[in-house]
Structure formats: C-alpha cells, structure tokens
Structure 1
C-alpha cells in the first residue's frame, strides 16, 4: 500500500467541497453526501464555515482506493484565505484543481494553476457542474488551454451536457501534447503506429512529472465522472516518498487548539518515524518538545497511534511553542512564499464591554492559526492592528471573535499596507561610553537599497571574533525587527544592512565581587542601541513610501466601455490595454489596492451585471497621490 497526500483546490463556488463529499461517498467513507448549503459536510467543521457555506480553514480526511491511502486536504477557495492554501501546497504530492463548467476559468483558478506549475505539483483538472444549464465542454477546453495552461490532456467527452443526465465518457485524446515530451510517442505518431499502451505510459510519466494535466469532466452532485477521476488519482499521481528509517524531518502546516486549549500541530512527515515520548527539535530556535500524543487520518476518521512514519500526515500534541511553518527534526529547505502577502490592514476596535486583555489573547490565538494577519500592538495609542487580504476575511475575524471567544469588536476603515524603499545609502555609529550613548555597546550600520524581492541581507565588515557571537546575533535580530517600521512606520522589505563597527565592555566586577552588569556589556545593550543607529542610518539614506497595486482584468459588454473608463480614472486605475471584440470588450491594467473593493462593488452597476473581473497583487509603486501615507511608529509586534 502506498500513500498520497492530495490537495483539492479551486476558485470559490466551483464545487470543491461538494466534490470532496462525493469522493468520500464513492469510496465508502460516508453513507450520505453532506451539503455545503445545509452545513453538513465532513471537512467544513467550523460553525462559521457551515453558516457561510465557504471553506475558511484547511481540513484533512483520509480514504483508501484499493492499495492507495489518500490523505485529502480540502482548502479554501476564497482569495481572502489564500494563506491557508499556501501552507498546504508545501506538503502535497498531487492536486485536483476544480473548475466550474459554467463559470469556467476564474481569477483564483489562474493564480492556483500558475503556482502549481511553478512548484511542479502533479495536477489533475476536474471540470465540475456539467449537469448545470450553461455548462460548456469544447469551449471550456479551449479556455483552459488559452487562459490556464496549454499542457492539458482531455480524458473523455460529455453527453447530455447541461442536464441531470449529463455523463462523462472516457477516451484519451487528442494527445499531441504528450508527443511534445516523448520522442518514442512522437515517432509512433509520425509512423501511424500509436497504441493505447504507449499513450498510457507517456500519460502516467508526464503527469507525475507535472508536464501535462489530464482533464476530467463531471458533476459532484450527480456523481458523473467521479469514478474516472478516482481512477486518475490512483493511477496517475505519484506516491508520497520518504525513508521511514531516515532522520526525523517534518513540516507543520496547520496549528489549532484542542478542547482544553492545548496546541495541536498538523504535520507532514518527509523522513524518519516520529514516536510518542520522542523529544524533537523544531523552529528556528531548535527548541526541543516532547510529543505526548499522535493522531493519524485513516478511513475517514482520526485514530491515535504510537508512531507516524515518513509520507503520512499526523496531528501532534505536546509541542507547546510550535508555529506554522516550523520544521521538526532535520531542517528542510524553506519553500519561500508562493503568493503575495496581505496588502490591507485595519485597527480592531473593542466593543464597550469587551475586555482588552481577553481580546489580545483571542487575537493571539487567531494569529497562531494564520500568522499572516501579523498582529501589531501600539502601546502609546493602545490599538491593535491586523493585516488582511480582503473584506471577507475581516468579517470572518469579527464573527470568529464573537462566536468562539464571546468578544464584540468592530473595525476601522481598511487601509492599504504600504512599504518603504530606500532612496540612497546611509551610515551611522554609536560608540561605547561616548557621546551620551546610554548603552555599553558600539554599533555601526550602513543601509543600502537591494533589488525588489531580495529581502533583508545582514553583512559584517568587522571580524566575527571581535566580540561574543551572541552580541552579533542580538544586533542582527534587532535590525530585522526594527526594519518592520521605517521612517513613515511601514516595513522596509528589501535592503542590505552592513555592520561597520562593533565593540563591547568585557565582563568586569568590583574587587572581590561577582559579575557587575552595570560595568559589562549584555545582549540588552546591543538590542537597545541598534534601533537608534539604524533609525539614524535610515534618515540619512531616506525612504520613499510605496503603495500596493493590483493587476485587474475586466470583461464586459462593449457598449458599457464608455461608462466604465471614467470610473476607472476616478478610482486611480490605469488601463494598460483596452480591446473591443464584437459585442465584448476587455480592459487590463492596475488599480491601487485601496480602491479595488470599490471597483468590485461598482462593476455590476456599470455593466448591467454582465461584467466579470479578476485581480491579483501586482507590485508596489511610489505613492504620489495626496499626502505621504503615514503609519504611527511606536508599535511592537505581538
């Protein structure tokens, strides 16, 4: 028996969770198919998910297909919860991307497929809702090839399209795309001696290498096409790899709290075997934790086990300090960030009877489940801010605080989350016991601009042996933390910081007395002086605030273009291409993140409800409209 960790991904409302229910029913895990509308599905277990009919948190369920055990991970489809999808991608062996036969390729569909291809995750495409009026087959295949990826292999045809009697009929082809990657198949095509066995072998090999993507049509409601999809999952996607006898190594992709408030870490094991009572290092600090219990997913339920081997997904208890993204055991290469970070933020306003300490604790718990909300507390103003992807996420945070913690909150207006970029180079230094420096530490720093996307690099121009390593580490850690708030209060994401001077007071004491902290340098001295030096260097270099822009694409009736363009100008959107084809038009360009939600709200009225829009984060551009956006700086990360 082999294992497969499978992700189900889609644009919201494409039928992803309904397909999960149908898969579980087809393999005998559940007797009755749950309904998203009725809130009775296996994977949407949160009360808020059931009420809103959307997936907010990823969920794991297991089933067997002959000799294959599948750990299926259902992920959110709404773009406001893309961070939840990102955490799952790093632990997958394969994926099923769900597309609606009616709505077709949508904004999130494109974002997901680009990422799956970039990560080379073997992916099957399931076109759902063939029983719905307006469902398409040939036209949708063309759209998949044009707007998603040309590397698709249709796995059959559809009859009675758009009716409850719609059926999927298996038949591979055309398979020209397979011949592009297989010389033997290409030669067979030229010589007209192609046989089914040769095609099947190429299909399996190329799917597992993520070179092609088989496309199935069907319906999660009627079950059409689902048996063929299950066969594809079993035969075309690769098994999980990893040596159970190797060194222990796993990745935490989800953290939740149990009934007693204990942390539970969802972990994909990539190597070795982890057992209860094992002590395992995790996170950047390599803190050791004691595994007190292990749960694995099997046959649609969670079962307690004494161990979990490589390839499996498990729930682990006992790792109190664990965080999402931590590696257990042997460190693994970080995969980096797949999707753009949040570009919006808001201030949480407690209700009149809401205890602020309880609110802070509740928000901290939410940040454990979603670190990208980036909880920040302003001690001076006694305000807490969170980062967001969109308005729906804000509504979910509000509802979660009310339902799970009994806390009433509102929010201030959502504002764009800007960044600061260096204009030039700046240097500063504070010397130990000179010029009013209150800290027993010498620190000199030079800051220089770095290419966009390169992150923060810390370098040394001083000898590593010039002072204890712990002091260097204190400076670097403080530099990275301080760059979270530049001259205008925004993060400074891309720069090089070089330490140019260092010095300290060695351990000293008065005669016949022990160590005297007032005469000797400590890490606190370096953590205290570094922000002063860095702030001065930033002022000398200068920074410019950049606001987030989103790329958008609007398709609408051609006769509405005249009404649409002035509104785009009003919202500071910049059309880059405008195209009219017959009765339809298409406008592509960029719009400030701060105005994106308003554009989405106004589009139906401007286009008689026929306009379609997709958007995704584009880039940061210098803020030139109005006063420079400013965010108060005396904050600390919670």
Structure 2
C-alpha cells in the first residue's frame, strides 16, 4: 500500500540545495547532514567513492559531483528535500535546473580560498531565481583558513552593495582555525552568537555528541564584537521591535525573537546568515541543520509561481496551496531500464496517481500512473506516495513527450510556467561507433543523453555527414563518452575537441524578395523582412508584424518557419545568434500563392540579408587561476600569450596565494589545465566558464575557408 506523502504541512517543508565551487566540500557537508539526521547510518567519503549523493561510477572515480541528487530526510520535525549539486562549470545545467525549483540554498565556501570562480557563478544563478541563502564557511581546519578573510571576499565580490544585494552576517563563528599539527590555536568548535555559547563536537562518534559550554575567555571579546555587529544590522530593519527595545535598555534580546528577525531578513534577502565548520573534522554541521529549519523558506514563504494562460496569453499566478489547480515543472529527466524517470516540482494543487496531466507547451496529455519519492541512487528502490501536494518534489515514470523545462497542469486550468534557460554549448566533437552495426544503438543512446542533459546537443553535420556532439567543455564530453561505453556498452571513436563558433550579422539589413515560379510552375510570394542585431546575447527570434489581410495565417506560418530554419546556420555552417527577423510587409495572390512559395521567399530573404554581412563569433572563457605568489608571473605571461585580457589579480588571504582572472578565447585553451600544472610545478589550480562571444580574428575565418 502506498505511503502518505510527508509533505502535508507546507510550513514544515524545506526544499534546499547545496551549491559551491568544485572541491569546497559540498558533498562531504551533505554526507554529514544526512548522517546526523539519521538518513544514513555510516558516513561515506568522497575519496573512497562511498557518498550517498555521488552514486554514479564516474563521480566515484573522479571524486566530483556530476549529477544533482535529491535526498529527503527529517530534522527537528521538518522534512528537508536536499539537492547536492555539482561545482564544476561543465555541469552548470544541473545547478541551473536545481535552483529553478528550490526554495533556499546552502552556499559552501572554502575557509582558506574564500570566493572562487564557480562560487561566483552559482551565486549569480541563485540571484537570478531570488533564492534565499545561508553561508557555510567550510574547511576551517586547513592551513591558512581565515573566517574573516572569507567574509571579506563575499562582501567584495558577491555583495558589494549590501543595501540592495544583502549582507553576509555571521551567526556562528569558529573557535580557532587550522589543524592541531599546524596551528597554535587549532579549529576545535564554534560559538553560537545568538545564544552566546560555545559548542564542541566529539570526534569519537564523528561529531554526533555535542557539548555546550561557556564562551572561552580568549574568544569572549571577538564573540561580543561579532554579536554587536549582528544586532546592529538586524535592528536596522526591526519593524516589529523584536530586539531593538531590549538593546536600548541594555538587555540581552530573547534568542527566539532574534531568530525570528534573522529569518525575516533572510527571506527578504537583506542578509545571508553565516556559519562555520569542517565536514572533514565533523564540526559545526548540526548548527547548520538547525539554521536550515530556522531561516530558510518553506514553500509558503516563496512568492506565487508566475506563468501564462495559453488561451488568453495573460499572466497568471499560482499560490503554493493544495486547494489551487495543480501545476508543476519537470526539472530533470533520468534514463532508466525500467522506464525513464522525471523529477517534478509541484507548485500548486495536488498531483495524484492515475491523473491525466496536461503538458501546456506540447499541447499533449501525459498519464501519471504512480508517484514516488526517490533516493539519491536511481538504482535503489522508489517510495510510492499517494499524493504530491504543493511544495513537494517527486518522481514519475515513463512520460512520453515531456522534457526538462516543461509544465504539467490540469487540462481545465492550463498554465505555462517560464521554462529553464541553459547556457549554449561551446565545445564540439565528432563521434561514431567502432562497428557499423551499432549505428542505430548510438543514435538512440545519444538521444537519451540529450533527454537527460539540456546542455548536451547532438546533430549530423550536413557537409561531412558526421555525428557531432556538443557540450559545456571537454570534461562534459568525456563524461558522456564514458557513459556510452560503460552504461550502453558501446565502443565509439571520437574526434579532437573543437570550438563551437557562432555567426552574427555585421549590421542590420532590410530586404524585399519576390517569388514568381516554383520549378516549372507559376507561383507568387512577396516578403519584406527586416534583419536586426540584439546588443545582448540572445537566440534567433522571428516576428510577424503584418496583419492577416496582407498575409493569411497559413502563409505567415510558412514564412516564419522558413526564416527560423534558415537562421539556424550562417554562411560557415555555425548557428546564428543575436538576430531578429521581422516580416514588415507582404503580398500574396489568392490563385498563385502557397505555403511553399512563402517558405522559399523567406529563405531567399535570409540569403540576401547574410550575403557579405556575416561575422564569425568565437566563445571567450572566463579563466581563473589560483596560484602561489612565485608563479604569478608565469601564469600571467602565458595568459597574455594566449591573447588573454587580465581582468583581476589579487591576493587570497595572508597565505601567499594569488588569484588571477582573465578572458581568453576558447580555441587557445584546450591544453591549458596541463600547462598550468607545468608552469606552477603542479601547485596552481585553474577553472574556466563561458563568458561571452566576440568577433573572431580574420585569420580564423581564413583558416576555415582554406584561404
């Protein structure tokens, strides 16, 4: 018999994610959250490949998170749906779609390195979706860990204007830093600034046993200073006078009222509560769990989800209320031998087994046979539930037409939620099976990988007939190849990675074309089309500004399809970008005009607009290198030799480590990771992410044309 959903009381639900730069300790932190909550009985280790959320063999072998994983657990009577997300930029789609459906997030920072490149990226993604956050400064036990310096990097690089972007506000501070071997004052516990108590964690049982004591004398002044700053910031927006009067009277505020005020300001994103700890040393994680329940939002605390009614094209809002009409968003698909699994965030109403859900964007109905909660590992059993109310995150099997970003709702109450947008692929690679007999199997396997990953694209090159896969980086494509070999048992050959260029108009152009023949038959279609550039990166858009009296709907649709298809590739065969085509005038003949004639006219208009008017655009990567001071000259010299523009060069804390940031063409970076190791005797680390597209040098175009 199906179990009842544990999410009946929306106030007791926390849908949260763990986000950070690669190797900041997200997965280790997640392991401890699950361990202390009783969701697992033994701590796993990233290095040993035994963590709950890194279930995939590729993740276990590399020691990194690739796929977001959803794990439910309970703490203090709350149900927490926790998603552990990747830190590597190549898997940013996993972070993007997770943040789209989450209510709150834990942002983990390395206590030694502070704000790193990918932590900036995930912070911006969280800003995009208005996600309230708490900050966990991890690795306070490592050499050079500096809580105050990490806070300062957050202020400078993530919240430079605290009045409008929120401020990081410590509510827990560390007692010491560094390890017993390397520090006279090693990290050994934390101070709760609200209760003004020191908390210590017993290493004998992996930190499960906590001891609460008075604040040590040698940390009393520091704790009082941080506590005063906390109350100063909170009292600036204490509209309900929860603590201000007590402070003016020289009294200690009620801790419950302080927590209430911290919660209100966290939900408003005026502040980001900051805690400290070490996953590796089992210190400070239970206060983090408490903070999740105290300060992060329930589904009821988030604004109503906004969508469009497809009938009237009007904006509609749905509250997180089981009494509202059902709507949900498919945010993840996972291939499985027993039926593909689709993860859905329910935003309003109740999704029930055996219901027919309407996919608004596809205009089709999907059968919801059963509903499940699922563990991190897709190969483990599913827990069937008899309903999924608003605020829940669930899994259904075997949807026929739905993909990531699709809306499901009640047929009688249609709504189309905003789809999830993903970054464009920047690296491509040809792929073919070693055996011709596996050709169809490869096609089907690649289609499944595309279903799972919206940033992974596959197409057949029209000139070479090669199958080309595209992704966010070389690691991204390498992981896909390994999955084909391991999970689908395919032997494949791949070509060298190559840059995914784009094409763009040099300038706007208006053309008028007329078609008077189709083959040996008379025909007629007349179009005037205005082609313009966007100033910001956007996909191709086609508009029709002509009324039905001048261009009947069937002919208009044919012309629009023709323009859309033509604009998919430019003169050199790469996708067009930043182009808007608008039909501004048209003429037709009721006897000679046809859909085919208007499609032909649209293609002809495109050809005239792009002739001699195309520029090649190349992807520019944002490269960050963390390096000891003595190698900074080597690093910056090499970046300059790669036509890199140095954007920033600054010290990280007091440990003699520098971070260099530069913008570099992707085509000059394929050997970069190995080169950085060589230039720094293996002591520097690098990362990169797509930044923008810029006009490629003339020699790149000449090389492509064989000139």
Whole-Å separation in 2 of the counterparts to 1:457 and 1:287: 25
2:58 equivalent in structure 1: 48
Which residue of 121, 133, 136 maps to 1:126?
Answer: 136
Which residue of 500, 507, 530 maps to 1:424?
Answer: 507
Q: Does residue 1:627 correspond to 2:700, yes or no?
A: yes
Deviations 1:82-125 (A, max 9, x none): 11111111100001112222443221112112322343211111
Whole-Å separation in 2 of the counterparts to 1:202 and 1:95: 19
Deviations 1:279-298 (A, max 9, x none): 22215232222212211359
Q: Which moved more, 1:576-585 or 1:1-10?
A: 576-585
2:169 equivalent in structure 1: 153
- Aligned in 2, Cα 1:488/1:145: closer, same or farther, shift over 3 Å? same
SS of alignment partner, residue 146 of structure 2: coil
Q: Does residue 1:347 correspond to 2:347, yes or no?
A: no
Whole-Å separation in 1 of the counterparts to 2:520 and 2:492: 43
Cα drift, residue 586 of structure 1: 5.8
SS of alignment partner, residue 105 of structure 1: coil
Alignment length (residue pairs):
617
SS of alignment partner, residue 697 of structure 2: coil
Q: Does residue 1:290 correspond to 2:367, yes or no?
A: yes
Whole-Å separation in 1 of the counterparts to 2:121 and 2:54: 23
Deviations 1:446-495 (A, max 9, x none): 31222223543433242134455344334334433432211222222212
- Aligned in 2, Cα 1:3/1:473: closer, same or farther, shift over 3 Å? farther
Cα drift, residue 400 of structure 1: 0.3
Q: Does residue 1:538 correspond to 2:610, yes or no?
A: yes
Q: Which moved more, 1:90-99 or 1:617-626?
A: 617-626
Which residue of 561, 569, 590 maps to 2:640?
Answer: 569
Does the 8 Å contact 1:553/1:587 carry over to 2? yes
- Aligned in 2, Cα 1:130/1:378: closer, same or farther, shift over 3 Å? same
Deviations 1:123-166 (A, max 9, x none): 11122233444433333333333344361111223235334772
1:547 equivalent in structure 2: 618
Does the 8 Å contact 1:425/1:448 carry over to 2? yes
**Where does structure 1 lack aligned partners over 5 or more consecutive residues?**
509-518, 633-638
Whole-Å separation in 2 of the counterparts to 1:521 and 1:630: 42
Cα drift, residue 63 of structure 1: 1.0
Does the 8 Å contact 2:524/2:593 carry over to 1? no
1:142 equivalent in structure 2: 152
1:406 equivalent in structure 2: 489
1:513 equivalent in structure 2: none
Matches within 5 A, 1:244-259: 244-259=322-337
Which residue of 521, 542, 547 maps to 1:458?
Answer: 542
- Aligned in 2, Cα 1:107/1:488: closer, same or farther, shift over 3 Å? same
SS of alignment partner, residue 376 of structure 1: strand
Q: Does residue 1:228 correspond to 2:287, yes or no?
A: yes
SS of alignment partner, residue 60 of structure 1: strand
Whole-Å separation in 2 of the counterparts to 1:629 and 1:437: 39
Tell me how large the CA RMSD over aligned residues is.
3.2
Q: TM-score, normalised by structure 1?
A: 0.87
Whole-Å separation in 1 of the counterparts to 2:57 and 2:660: 39
Does the 8 Å contact 1:485/1:492 carry over to 2? yes
Q: Does residue 1:382 correspond to 2:460, yes or no?
A: no
Does the 8 Å contact 1:443/1:499 carry over to 2? no
Q: Does residue 1:168 correspond to 2:190, yes or no?
A: yes
Q: Does residue 1:67 correspond to 2:68, yes or no?
A: no
- Aligned in 2, Cα 1:237/1:418: closer, same or farther, shift over 3 Å? same
Cα drift, residue 304 of structure 1: 1.3
2:306 equivalent in structure 1: none
Which residue of 360, 380, 386 maps to 1:306?
Answer: 386
Does the 8 Å contact 2:95/2:122 carry over to 1? no
Whole-Å separation in 1 of the counterparts to 2:121 and 2:490: 35
Whole-Å separation in 1 of the counterparts to 2:331 and 2:254: 40
Cα drift, residue 65 of structure 1: 1.9
Q: TM-score, normalised by structure 2?
A: 0.79
Matches within 5 A, 1:464-483: 464-483=548-567
Whole-Å separation in 2 of the counterparts to 1:368 and 1:98: 30
- Aligned in 2, Cα 1:439/1:180: closer, same or farther, shift over 3 Å? farther
Q: Does residue 1:391 correspond to 2:474, yes or no?
A: yes
Whole-Å separation in 2 of the counterparts to 1:270 and 1:437: 57
Whole-Å separation in 1 of the counterparts to 2:34 and 2:650: 45
Whole-Å separation in 1 of the counterparts to 2:675 and 2:609: 45
Which residue of 188, 192, 207 maps to 2:266?
Answer: 207
Whole-Å separation in 1 of the counterparts to 2:566 and 2:683: 48
SS of alignment partner, residue 82 of structure 1: helix
2:354 equivalent in structure 1: 277
Matches within 5 A, 1:476-495: 476-495=560-579
1:498 equivalent in structure 2: 582
Q: Which moved more, 1:111-120 or 1:553-562?
A: 553-562
- Aligned in 2, Cα 1:441/1:159: closer, same or farther, shift over 3 Å? farther
Which residue of 633, 654, 679 maps to 1:606?
Answer: 679
Cα drift, residue 532 of structure 1: 3.7
